Amino acid sequence: MNIKLIRNEGCHIWQTAEKALKEALKQAELPEEFDVMVVKDDGEAKKYRFFGSPQVTIDGRDLDPSAEKATQFQVEGCRFYMWPPARRASGSESKMYEYPPKAMILEALKKR
């Protein structure tokens, strides 16, 4: 499994994302092995389908299913995550996060 935490230079929340990723890997009993990568220009953003920081990919795929709809890739900008997905909220509202929450990461790890 190839996991990347991708961020831009201006990201102020990437370390929180890193902590959530480490906790999720530990809970899933997987090695805490992942790369932290800084996207430097729009060309790299396009290559990695990066549309905001921070981003976590597993085997090259964004862990957020809604990322499949993204078409604009650029180095600048922050990103927000909604969790749980509306279809699974079971009567509760989705919450907005500035990083992928641990529960979202765990779900993505289970699917890989």
92 vs 86: CA distance, rounded Å: 9
Q: Count how many domains the chain has.
A: 1
Could you read off the pLDDT of 42-56 as tens digits, one per residue? 999 999 999 999 999
Structural domain boundaries enclosing 29: 3-111
In the chain, where do the E strands start and end? 3-8, 35-39, 55-58, 61-62, 81-83, 95-97
99 vs 7: CA distance, rounded Å: 11
Encoding tokens for residue 102? 């641990």
- The model's pTM is 0.90
Return the closest-CA partner of residue 87 out of 102, 106, 71, 107.
Answer: 107
**What is the model's pLDDT at position 92?**
66
Could you read off the pLDDT of 56-72 as tens digits, one per residue? 999 999 999 889 999 99
